[in-house]
Amino acid sequence: MNKSKERILASAKELFHEYGFQQTSVDEILKKSGVTKSNFYYHFKSKEELGLIILQRFITIYESDVLIKTLGNKSLSPSGRLVEFYNSVKTFHINLENPRGCPFGNMAIEMSGSNENFREKLSAFFNSWEKIIEECINEGMNSGDFRGDLPPGVVAQLILSHLEGAIMMVKTHRSLEPLSSGSETIMRLLKAA
Amino acid sequence: MNKSKERILASAKELFHEYGFQQTSVDEILKKSGVTKSNFYYHFKSKEELGLIILQRFITIYESDVLIKTLGNKSLSPSGRLVEFYNSVKTFHINLENPRGCPFGNMAIEMSGSNENFREKLSAFFNSWEKIIEECINEGMNSGDFRGDLPPGVVAQLILSHLEGAIMMVKTHRSLEPLSSGSETIMRLLKAA
DNA sequence: TTATTAGGACTGTCCAGTCAGTACTAAACA
DNA sequence: TGTTTAGTACTGACTGGACAGTCCTAATAA
């Protein structure tokens, strides 16, 4: 059931990632999904509500499909997990014909200044993402995978900031190089002496 | 004279940084600058043209007021220059009541997917910015300020990516902490053994 | 004279959102 | 059994405002 609603969600997810939330009009979502405007407003009370639902979907899928499968994969060593995480991010961006950037980073820059609902949700997600990285780093420091002379929280924050900036560069330069080279350098800098 | 033109440029620069290019309307620029619409289109042939001129202004000012004065300050040691650069970036973002993000990073994310003129200009500027960092890193590696076991170009790329990501976090979390803590960590990781 | 500023009305398009009403289904009732 | 009721899904036509940009006229300054 609810075929229209699902089609709206699927189309909006694509369009928001490719063009951004503000640069995607409701009419474009309608056109892509083949749904009428009145039907749209039957399912969603506003474009903002749809945007927040899509953001939540991005978060949920990212947590289960990327974070848990890589950084949370206890069958790998901590440094192996981090490598897998980077691989998975690279694969995600390779598979798009044009780099679209990070769905979260894009939305953070686009919306943080103008909409507190988006900003708070994104801020909370970045925090939880950071915590997941931190746990991996912490374990790797204890196991000797990583150098232990830095607080793991600070390292995790650095990794996430760098990742977001690198994806921004991938989008701007239309090349994966900043991400692949940057992630390798991060791995080298974290290696135990 | 060209007082109106200068007023338009000054207002647009503020508004583009605070709200982004797309989210700023010509009418808002007119209102803020107190200039009439016909006068606006006497000086600029389109909003896009104005946007590209503003971007060029940001670049020129940033190069002369930040990059040359910090990373290009030969009276300081390479690591002293990098510290000064970070201080200057932090000061810039502290002085805004609400974090607005990096003018270049914001525009890169907002425009790279939809306008090649902006994307190419930003890509070229990021490259030149990276080169300036690279020269500082290279010199610091030769002088023994920085560890020398990594290619300076790769380190420069990492520093710039991290900086952009950290400023994104500052904007999203409404806190300077990701930038100040991140820059300190970068300095520690680069210290010679 | 020529560059600049001002006024204001206007165009056509796009925008998010509204509205009254229809089609279908399924349970509740008589 | 047939009839009512109610909820869900959906539709097409519409509104009012915002948008970038145009046009034309007239005043003012170098």
CA B57 to C1' D21, in angstroms, rounded, equals 24
Half-sphere exposure of B79 (CA within 13 A, CB side): 15
Report in angstroms the alpha-carbon separations of A91 from A5, A34, A84, A164, B90.
29, 30, 10, 15, 34
CB within 8 Å: B20 and A113: yes
Residue of B nearest to A183 (CA): B158
**3-state DSSP call for residue B103?**
helix
Provide mean pLDDT across the span A13-35: 95
CA A11 to C1' C24, in angstroms, rounded, equals 26
Residue of B nearest to A103 (CA): B109
Beta bridge partners of A191: A146
Two tokens, residue A5: 């609603």
The answer to whether A138 and A152 have CB atoms below 8 angstroms apart is yes
Task: Give the integer Cα–Cα distance in Å for A136 and B181.
Answer: 19
pLDDT value of residue B167: 98
pLDDT value of residue B98: 87
CB within 8 Å: A169 and B114: no
Question: What is the rounded average pLDDT for all residues in chain A?
Answer: 95
Q: pTM value?
A: 0.96
Let me know how many helices (H) and strands (E) chain A has, helices first.
9, 0
How many beta-carbon pairs below 8 A join chains A and B? 144
CB within 8 Å: B105 and A109: yes
Confidence of residue A193 (pLDDT cuts 50, 70, 90): confident
Intervals of chain B under pLDDT 50: none
Q: Say how far residue B1 (Cα) sits from the centre of its chain.
A: 29
Express as a percent the part of chain A with pLDDT over 90. 94
In sign, the C-alpha dihedral spanning B157, B159, B160, B164 is positive
CB within 8 Å: B110 and A109: yes
A1 touches B: beta carbon within 8 Å: no
Two tokens, residue B54: 């503003």
pLDDT value of residue B1: 53
Per CB-CB distance under 8 Å, the chain A contacts of B161 are 162, 165-166, 168-169, 178, 182
Is the shortest CB-to-strand distance from A25 to strand C under 7 Å?
A: yes
A97 touches B: beta carbon within 8 Å: no
Residue A1 has pLDDT above 60, yes or no: no
- C-alpha angle A104/B105/A20, rounded to 5°? 40
Per CB-CB distance under 8 Å, the chain B contacts of A59 are none
pLDDT value of residue B2: 75
B148 touches A: beta carbon within 8 Å: no
Per CB-CB distance under 8 Å, the chain B contacts of A181 are 154, 157
